[in-house]
Amino acid sequence: MAVPLALSTPASAAASCGRTASDMDSSSWDRTANGANQRSGSSTGCAILGIAYNTHNLDYHCYTRIGNTSETWTYLRNDTTGTTGWVRDDLLSDGGSLTYCGF
């Protein structure tokens, strides 16, 4: 009898496209993000909603982790433009939010 093989699938985004997060971090100050895309979810496959630049004031809400990887994304509001979205933490000079979103 043949045993079916388990199919390997890539780690899914912790924040699917369109998912938002409440402001759990409650901190806001100048952060450096030199041309970082703000996306609708924590994946480069999600729509770009805006771009965060190093002259912008960013209000971090919380972060999430992608599957079992070390990749994290921060949900933030760009106070300069009013746009909210997810930014990959390695694109933020301080590494992003320290408050976990819970998903």
Taking the C-alpha atoms of residue 98 and residue 18, their distance in angstroms, rounded to an integer, is 22
Residue 2's Cβ-count burial label (10 Å; 0-12, 13-18, 19+) is exposed
pLDDT(1) > 80: no
Residue with the two structure tokens 């408050």: 99
- The predicted-structure confidence for 21-55, as pLDDT tens digits, reads as follows 999 987 666 667 889 999 999 999 999 999 999 88
**pTM attached to this predicted model:** 0.84
Look up residue 12 and give its two tokens: 């899914």
How far apart are the C-alpha atoms of 16 and 33, rounded to whole Å?
A: 22
Quick: pLDDT tens for 48-99. Answer: 999 999 888 899 999 999 988 999 999 999 999 999 999 999 999 889 999 9
| pLDDT classification of 103: cutoffs 50, 70, 90 | very high
